[in-house]
Amino acid sequence: MEGIEKIKKLSQETKDENIKKVAEYLINREDMDEKYLNEEKNLTDMWSFITDEARKKAQNGCAVLEDKEVYGLAIHYFDETNDALGIKTSKKDEPEMHGIGIKNIIQIVEKYNGDVWWESEKESFTLNINLWEKIEK
C-alpha cells in the first residue's frame, strides 16, 4: 500500500480541489497501488495530462468531461509510461534542457489559483498561464 500512501501524501500537499477529488478516487483503487510508486508520476502532472486531453476535445474553447472520463484519464496516466503518453521529460545530465522548472511554475500558479497548460509540437512547446483576478463582493 506504499503507492496509495504516496497519493494520500501528495493529495494533502496540494491546494487544488480538482486534484484532491481525483486523488480520492485513486486512493480507492488498490489494484493501482504499485503503479503509483513510479517516480516519474505525480498528481500535478496527472492533472496537466487530464486538462491537455480535455483541451483536445474542446469545441469553441469549451470542453465538458464527466467524472467517469476524468477518473479514466487519471488511471490511464498512471498506467502508462510518460513516453507512451507523449509526455517529454529531460534528464539531469542535459543541463541545456533545464531552466526555472515547470514544476516550480505550476506550484506558483496553483498558489494564486491560476491555470497552466502547454502544447507541444516536435521540438518546441508553448507554456500558457492564466492568473485570475479575485473580485470581492
Report the alpha-carbon distance of residue 20 to residue 120 in Å, rounded.
Answer: 27
Q: pLDDT of 42-64, one tens digit each?
A: 998 899 889 888 888 888 778 88
Site of grid cell 517529454: 88
Give the separation between CA 85 and CA 49, rounded to whole angstroms. Answer: 9
The pLDDT assigned to 118 comes to: 75
* Closest to 117 (Cα-Cα) out of 107, 129, 125, 109: 129
* pLDDT for the residue 115: 83
User: Residue for cell digits 474553447?
Assistant: 61
Q: What is the pLDDT of residue 128?
A: 80
Q: Is 107 helix (H, G, I), strand (E, B) or coil?
A: helix
Residues sharing a CB contact under 8 Å with residue 120, sequence separation 6 or more, in sequence order? 86, 88, 126
DSSP 36-64: GG-TT--HHHHHHHHHHHHHHH-BTTB--
- Cα atoms in the Cβ-side hemisphere of radius 13 Å centred on 33: 7
The pLDDT value recorded for residue 100 is 59
d(CA 73, CA 54): 10
Model confidence, pTM = 0.66
pLDDT in the model for residue 99: 58
Cell representation of residue 23? 486523488
pLDDT in the model for residue 98? 57
pLDDT < 70: residue spans in the chain = 88-100, 121-125, 133-137
Please, are residues 7 and 38 in contact by the beta-carbon 8 Å criterion? Answer: no
